[in-house]
Structure 1
Amino acid sequence: MALTFEQHDSQGDADSSIGTDTESSTASVSASILEYRRSLGRMYHSDKFTANYCFPTTINNEFADRYPSTEVIGTDLSPCQPQWVPPNLRFEIDDATQPWTWKEDYFSFIHIRYLFGSIKDWNSLFREAYRCCAPGGWVQSGEADVTFRSDDGTTELEPIFKTYQKLFVDGSRILGNPFFVHDLQLEAFKEAGFTDVETADYKFPIGGWPKDPKLAEVGRFVKATLENDLEGYTLMMWQDVCKWPKEEYEVFLMSLHKAIRNPKVHSYMTVRYVYGRK
């Protein structure tokens, strides 16, 4: 599935949500889980789990709110979860790149999202998801592509977009973790043994340029979110991973903001969701 755009002319315990089963390898047994990695004024997941995840930590609990009759388990690499969560939600500190700690056929639904750049072996990831998914259950994977695209060629007006893409191409090579994973998603689902595999591709406009009012509103939100997060996405990749000249970073960042705000550019990014049933 794809979209075509038309553009305008111009109250509980603070830690009650964290799993505490001492028999599980996901249990918190050491203060080391609070040892975040700090770089360039920002906080990242601890080196205990990974030195290759280059985005700041975030999480949400919308799924548990939407499905109150289900038991929801969220995993992350760091204890950065909110204190107030729905009663049917708990969090565990775990690394999805390691063997999963749950028994076979445990979950009826597994949602995996935005791990591009942090997974070396996508086949292994989805094999574990398949093992832990109950027969008849579903696994869903959603991953973005960081490339700025346009159907009318207007992204060519801003060469800085190519620098942005090269940053992640080079970073992917250095880390050994792919950032452009849409084809890998589909291949890994099939290799793991899922049936009824389907894909859904979406275009997320950047800015309010689409003629469709709803898409224009989406674009304004995407633009605001992207501008707010650009430094978090790129700073560590630029200086720590690729080791590009530090004195050039601020110019790069300002140029990228300027390009995103250019009303003549009708850019978007793509997100692919892959679904599969066990």
Structure 2
Amino acid sequence: MASTNSSTENPAKVQSPEPEEQTPFQENQTQIEADDSAFSDYDDTGSQASSTQSLSSSILEHVYANGRRYHRRSAEEDQQYLVPSDETELDRLDMMHHLTLLVLGGELHKAPLVGDPHNVLDCGTGTGIWALDFGSMHPGSKVVGVDLAPNQPGWVYPNVVFETDDLEKPWTYKKNHFDYIHSRHTTPGGYVEIAEHSMNYAQCDDGSVPADSVLLKHVDLFMKAMDKLGVNARGLDGKFIRQHLETAGFVDIKTYTYKVPVGPWPKSKNFKYMGAVCAEITKTGAEAYGMMAMTRLLEMPEEEVREMFTGVYKTIMGREQHPYYLHWQIVARKPEAQA
């Protein structure tokens, strides 16, 4: 399940010296060098996506729109989840897991776990691939994966279970139950690790992304759609998440920041492969995140949105523009109960 990395090199991240504070903010400041050659090993437009066996949801209702299947969160149609839950999306989620392993140099997490934590919760488990990988590597842990829809495999390891639930509703788990999760219910002394990335995938260090780029247009429209939902996607970064963890009382907070190239434009072999995988994810990811949001929330015609998505992918594969986004792994510890 979990891929192994024979090399300890992780080109996406360069840790700077820790500043003089108890909770250092570590950030990669290295500029990725672009490949100026005309030939690329990743010009092929064929699919590199992985496949996954999923449970067809016969117990939950779905909505079909724009040629995609969406999970319905309630009886009202306007409460459906904005991201699809069909096979195309499940393949993309598995590919995203592969990309995250590349970013982290083959690691599943950055939290300094010792041995097998007793109770582990994977929030928004998706296809369940992270939970299965973690359960395989930590046979002494009980891993619970929770998601809105039962899109996980029909077979699991003995120490892994999947539950269908909405994590935004009141939790039924006992307080201080989990040793490692993305929640305040973590047991005292346990760790929380939040993996998040910037919604702006068109960041650039060398000025190759012009002001009229379709990439920037896409980012701007997506941000406006999120504004309609009251979500401040523009303000999402590692420092924002860290501040909320501090407010919740977590300690020993560390932020790991990575640059992830979008497209096979880098010169480095490792970065080039990472960018090619990211481009494959973007092929369906742009539609997954943006189609319902832009057609419903911004009332854009479906044809116009699809044309923009096509332009995004062509621009990414063209390698003339050198975009990237930032990925954060934020690790924090819940303090021990005071005597």
User: In which range does the TM-score fall when normalised by the shorter chain?
Assistant: 0.7 to 0.9
Contact 2:179 2:186 in 1 (8 A): yes
Partner of 2:214: 160
Instruction: After the TM superposition, list the runs of 4 or more consecutive aligned residues in structure 1 that deviate by more than 3 angstroms.
Output: none
Residue 196 of structure 2 is aligned to residue 133 of structure 1: no
Question: Counterpart of 1:274 in 2: which secondary structure?
Answer: strand
Number of aligned residue pairs: 243
Which structure features the higher share of helix residues? 1
Aligned match for 1:6, one of 15, 33, 38? 33
Residue 141 of structure 2 is aligned to residue 70 of structure 1: yes
Contact 1:145 1:269 in 2 (8 A): yes
Deviation at 1:246, TM superposition (A): 3.1
Q: In structure 1, how many angstroms separate the alpha carbons of the residues matched to 2:211 and 2:320?
A: 8
One-letter amino acid of the structure 2 residue matched with residue 55 of structure 1: V
Partner of 1:93: 164
Question: Counterpart of 2:163 in 1: which secondary structure?
Answer: strand
Contact 1:46 1:77 in 2 (8 A): no
Partner of 1:218: 274
What TM-score, normalized to structure 2? Answer: 0.66
Q: Residue deviations 1:132-185, cap 9 Å, x none?
A: 111110001111112111110112176211211122211111111233422431
Q: In structure 2, how many angstroms separate the alpha carbons of the residues matched to 1:185 and 1:52?
A: 26
Q: In structure 2, how many angstroms separate the alpha carbons of the residues matched to 1:184 and 1:95?
A: 24
Residue 257 of structure 2 is aligned to residue 201 of structure 1: yes
Q: Residue deviations 1:222-242, cap 9 Å, x none?
A: 111211332222211121121
Aligned match for 1:230, one of 275, 286, 304? 286
Root mean square deviation, CA, Å: 2.5
Q: In structure 2, how many angstroms separate the alpha carbons of the residues matched to 1:238 and 1:202?
A: 28
Percent identity at matched positions?
Answer: 31
Q: In structure 1, how many angstroms separate the alpha carbons of the residues matched to 2:61 and 2:80?
A: 16
Partner of 2:8: none
Q: Residue deviations 1:77-120, cap 9 Å, x none?
A: 11121112222111111212122211111111014xxxxxxxxx
Contact 2:192 2:333 in 1 (8 A): yes
Q: Residue deviations 1:15-71, cap 9 Å, x none?
A: 9x9xxxxxxxxxxxxx99511233222122222298364222342232222322211
Q: In structure 2, how many angstroms separate the alpha carbons of the residues matched to 1:247 and 1:223?
A: 22
Q: In structure 2, how many angstroms separate the alpha carbons of the residues matched to 1:269 and 1:235?
A: 20
Contact 1:167 1:237 in 2 (8 A): no
Q: In structure 1, how many angstroms separate the alpha carbons of the residues matched to 2:84 and 2:257?
A: 25
Question: Counterpart of 1:45 in 2: which secondary structure?
Answer: strand
Deviation at 1:212, TM superposition (A): 2.1
Question: Counterpart of 1:54 in 2: which secondary structure?
Answer: strand
One-letter amino acid of the structure 1 residue matched with residue 64 of structure 2: R
Partner of 1:170: 224
Residue 243 of structure 2 is aligned to residue 187 of structure 1: yes
Q: In structure 2, how many angstroms separate the alpha carbons of the residues matched to 1:230 and 1:106?
A: 37
One-letter amino acid of the structure 1 residue matched with residue 196 of structure 2: E
Question: Counterpart of 2:209 in 1: which secondary structure?
Answer: helix
Contact 1:155 1:265 in 2 (8 A): yes
Deviation at 1:259, TM superposition (A): 1.2
Question: Counterpart of 1:199 in 2: which secondary structure?
Answer: strand
Q: In structure 2, how many angstroms separate the alpha carbons of the residues matched to 1:146 and 1:153?
A: 19
Residues 161/225 of structure 1: CA separation in 2 closer, same or farther (3 Å cut): same
Q: In structure 2, how many angstroms separate the alpha carbons of the residues matched to 1:62 and 1:228?
A: 24
Partner of 1:143: 196
Q: In structure 1, how many angstroms separate the alpha carbons of the residues matched to 2:257 and 2:29?
A: 8
Unpaired runs of 5+ in structure 1? 18-30, 112-128
What TM-score, normalized to structure 1? Answer: 0.79
One-letter amino acid of the structure 2 residue matched with residue 235 of structure 1: M
